[in-house]
Amino acid sequence: MIPRPFAEVASVGVAVPPGVLTNADLTRMLDTSDEWIVERTGIRERHIARPEQTVAMLSHEASLRALASAGAVPADLDAIVLATASPDRLLPSTACDLQALLGAENAAAFDIGAACPGFVYALTVAEGLIASGQSDTVLVVGAEKLSTITDFQDRSTAILFGDGAGASVVRRSTRPGRGILSTFIKSDGRLAPLLYRPGGGSVDPISEKVVCERSHYMKMAGREVFKAAVLAMADACDEALRRAGVSADEIDLLVPHQANLRIIEATAKHAGVPMSKVMVNVDRYGNTSSASIPLALEQAVSEGRVDSGTVILVVAFGAGFTWGSAVIRW
Ligand code: UT7
C-alpha cells in the first residue's frame, strides 16, 4: 500500500445566511430562557436561511470561495461529494444541483447522508477516490437548511439548530507529509430512533397525518444522545490519532462538531487537548450538522490559527448514530 497522505485539504470556504435568530428571539416563541440555553448548550444565536435560499445556493457560495482559495476552477473537479441531512429535494441529489450551478462539467456528483459527521464521511470518500486513482480533485461540501426540519414548537430541539454551508477542495497531495494523515468513520443504526425524522420518507410518506403529527420534523432524546456523543467522540479521537501515529501533544488544533459546548469540553478533556487549542463557535451558529466542521475550520483559518504544517484533529457525532474523525497536517 502506498503510504499516506494521498490527499490534502487545499482550502475551506463557507456561506452563512444573514438572518440571525437569537436566544432572546426564541424566548418570545417558546417556554425557554437565554440562561438555560447558554448554560446547557453554549449557544447564543444561529443563522436561518430565507425561504428562497436553498442548500444548493449556500453550497455554491461556499464552494466558489473554496475553489478561489485553492486556485482551482469548477472544470478541475472530478467529483462533488455533498453531505447533508436537509437536501433541497429527495430526488435528485443536492450535489447535482450544485454541479449545475458551478458548471462543473467534468464532475461526478452525489450526496452523503451521514448527519453531523457528514463532512468527515465526505472527506473520507474524497480521500478514497483520490487514493484509488479515480479522481485528482474532489469538492467536499457540508451544507444544511436545518430550519426546514426543525420543529419550532419543540423547545428541546428548536434552540439547537442553524443553517449554513462549508466546502473544501481536496486534491492529490503534492507536498510531502502534508494532507489527510488518517480518517475513521463508524455507525450504530440500532440507536436511530434517539435522533430521527419519523415521517416524510417512504415508510410514512408526507400526508396530512404526518404534517398534523409534526413527524416530518427532527425528534431527539437529548440526554441519551448527549451520553452517546461524549463516548463516541472520545473513541473517534483515539482512533484517528492511533491511525495517524500522532500523539495528543502533537495536535495543534482540535476542531470538534459544534453541537454543545459541554460535549466539546468533554471531548477535549478526553483527547488531552487544552481548550486553548480547541475551536469553538457553537455560540454563533448552533448545531449546523454537516456544515459545523467546515464552519469552525474556516473560522480557525481566518483567525490565523492554521498555518502550513498545523496538525488538526476533526471529530463529529450525529444521527444514525454515526461518528468519525480525521487527522490533517495542513
Ligand atoms: O449533533 C447531533 C448530536 N446532538 C447532540 O449532541 C445533542 C445532545 N444533547 C444535548 O445537547 C442536550 O441533551 C440538550 C441541550 C438537548 C438538553 O440538555 P440536558 O441538560 O440534557 O437537558 P434535559 O433534556 O435533560 O432536560 C432537562 C430539563 C427538563 O425539564 P425537567 O424534566 O427536568 O423538569 C426539560 O424539560 O430542561 C427542560 N428543557 C428546557 N428548559 C428550558 C428542555 N429544553 C428546554 C429549553 N428551555 N429549551
At 227-279, the pLDDT tens digits run 999 999 999 999 999 999 999 999 999 999 999 999 999 999 999 999 999 99
157 within some domain: yes
pTM above 0.85, yes or no: yes
Statement to judge: residues 259 and 155 lie in one domain: no
- Residues 316, 211: one domain? yes
What is the whole-number distance in angstroms between the Cα of residue 163 and the centre of ligand 1? 20
Looking at the fold, whether 166 and 185 belong to one and the same domain comes out as no
How far away, in angstroms, is 178 Cα from ligand 1 center? 40
Q: What is the mean pLDDT of residues 79-83?
A: 99
Q: Looking at the structure, tell me whether residues 164 and 36 fall in a common domain.
A: yes
Q: Is residue 116 part of a domain?
A: yes
Q: Residue 1 pLDDT more than 60?
A: no
Tell me the sheet residues that pair with 41. Answer: none
Could you give the residue numbers annotated as active site?
A: 116, 257, 287
Strands 253-256 and 311-318: parallel
Number of separate domains in the chain: 2
**99 and 238 inside one domain:** no
Ligand 1 atom closest to 263 (CA): 6
Q: Evaluate: CB of 156 within 6 angstroms of ligand 1.
A: yes
Question: Is the pLDDT reported for residue 210 higher than 90?
Answer: yes
Can you spell out the DSSP letters for 60-109? HHHHHHHHHHHT--GGG-SEEEEE-SS-S-SSS-HHHHHHHHHT-TT-EE
- Looking at residue 189, its amino acid is G
276-279 contacts at long range (C-beta below 8 A, 24 or more positions apart): 277/251, 277/252, 277/253, 278/253, 278/254, 279/253, 279/254, 279/255, 279/305
- The pLDDT-based confidence of 2 (bands split at 50, 70, 90) is low
Q: Separation of 276 CA from ligand 1 center, angstroms? A: 27
Asked whether 165 lines ligand 1 (CB < 6 A), one says no
Cα–Cα distance for residue pair 259/278, rounded to 1 Å:
14
In this structure, the answer to whether residues 51 and 122 fall within a common structural domain is yes
113 falls within a domain: yes
User: What is the structure's pLDDT at 176?
Assistant: 87
Looking at residue 6, what DSSP letter applies? Answer: -
Region 174-197: mean pLDDT is 96
- In order of 44, 146, 150, 196, the CA distances from 281 in angstroms are 10, 17, 20, 25
Which of 23, 43, 191, 223 best tests ligand 1's pocket when mutated (most atoms within 8 Å of CB)? Answer: 223
- Considering the domain architecture, whether residues 219 and 150 belong to the same structural domain is answered as no
Q: Do residues 110 and 145 both lie within one domain?
A: yes
Cβ atoms of 295 and 301 closer than 8 Å: no
Is the pLDDT reported for residue 105 higher than 80? yes
Q: Whose CA is nearest to atom 13 of ligand 1?
A: 222
* Whether 124 and 137 share a structural domain: yes
Distance of CA 246 to the CA centre of its chain: 23
Share of the chain above pLDDT 70, in %: 99
Q: Please report, for residues 17, 112, 267, the alpha-carbon distance to residue 226 in angstroms, rounded to integers and kept in the order given.
A: 27, 23, 12
Average pLDDT along the chain:
97
31 CA → ligand 1 middle, Å: 13
Digit-coded pLDDT (tens) for 25-51? 999 999 999 999 999 999 999 999 999
Determine, yes or no, domain membership for 1.
no
pLDDT of 4 reads: 87
Same domain membership, residue 65 and residue 15: yes
pLDDT 10s digits, 126-164: 999 999 999 999 999 999 999 999 999 999 999 999 999
Domain that holds residue 257: 180-329
Domain of residue 252, CATH code? 3.40.47.10
* The domain boundary residue, chosen from 153, 176, 199: 176
User: Measuring from atom 17 of ligand 1, which residue has the nearest CA?
Assistant: 222
pLDDT digits (tens, 9 = 90+) for 106-124: 999 999 999 999 999 999 9
Residues in Cβ contact with 248 at an 8 Å cutoff, skipping those fewer than 6 apart: 241, 271, 272, 273
Residue nearest to atom 23 of ligand 1 (CA): 223
Residues 90 and 25 in one domain: yes
Residue 152 shares a structural domain with residue 17: yes
